[in-house]
Amino acid sequence: MTYLSKLVCVFSIFLVGNWAMGAGGKVSQKISDQNVVMAVHAGLGIEKSEMTPAIEKQFREDIEKALQAGYAVYAKKGGSLDMVEAAVKVMEDAPEFNAGKGAVFTHDGRNELDASIMSGKDLSAGAVAEVTTIKNPIALARLVMEKSPHVLLVGSGAEQFGSEVGVEIVDPSYFRTEQRYKEWQQMLKEEEKAKTGPRKSSLPPYHTWGTVGAVALDTSGDLAAGTSTGGMTNKRYGRVGDSPIIGAGTYAENGVAAISCTGHGEFFIRYAVAHDIISLMKYKGLSVQKAADEVLLGKLKKVGGEGGAIALDSHGRVAMPYNSEAMTRGYITKDGKTHIFLYEK
């Protein structure tokens, strides 16, 4: 073989190898992780010391229902936006999670809800914040995207828009649960005691903040992401976290990935976490796993930003890193098999 022939052969092998390895130059993950069509999360979860068999069973059942709701859309060749909305609605209706029914209380005794959704196909997005009468905020976020020229609507204006476009309206009392009320009351007592000394909450982190979210890849190759939350217990002054902020808590772009985040929203906003993961994949060529790890386990952890994310790339590879003790999460593959995790890495 001549020198030129050898050179051509080596170059051909290099091209094929890089094509096979995909983004980041890393061999693809295990087969099950290459065929994921949806992943969901339900926040940072409960610390192991707080977990009971009954709570764990309920969490796993709720995640299973959310995944199956999204997969039912996928099986009928529905779009990724429909998959995301269906899954998030299930979790908004589950009082165990901090989104929709069962949302935490603000300092003023209200349940204020935030949500966002984004299409990877054309980067269209919609979001709402501080709504108190919308049964499923994710549905209203989608209508903001599809029925208005805006991206983010807030408070009474968002609710007025919701009544005009026909989303389900409920009395604010719908969102209240006794468990969340007790958590709020406990935090108020601790806040009162803190006036005479340093405050250290006895509530575990899952009581303080929590979020649900979903990412999906449909049969057409379109990605979508959605996130919904009740925010932080005892929050004041109309505080809004990252969940309704495109680029912070939610992002999706075809050909790259779909991201939904959970955790301490102030950090996720400042570090534009969802978009940062996308950027590392686009501009540095990192795999979805490496990009998500670099942001969540590297950048964010270094500055004390507690949280996690689910990320699904355009090839059906999933990453679900978190830097806290637990994150309730799961995914479902093309064949309909579900994989659910609470503490398991």
* Active centre residues (catalytic): 211
Give the three-class secondary structure for 116: strand
Packed helices 155-165 and 137-147: angle between N→C axes, nearest 10 degrees:
80
| Closest C-alpha among 299, 228, 289, 238 to residue 267 | 299
Phi-psi region at 22: left, alpha or beta (left = phi > 0; alpha = psi -120 to 50): left
Q: CA end-to-end span of the chain, whole Å?
A: 50
- List Cβ neighbours of 139 (8 Å cut-off, separation of 6 or more): 85, 89, 167, 168
Distance CA 344, CA 161 (A): 42
Residue whose entry in the numeric block shows the structure tokens 């680029």: 247
- List Cβ neighbours of 36 (8 Å cut-off, separation of 6 or more): 217, 312, 316, 317, 318, 331, 332, 333, 334
Distance CA 327, CA 39 (A): 13
Residue type, 202: S
Residue whose entry in the numeric block shows the structure tokens 């942001």: 295
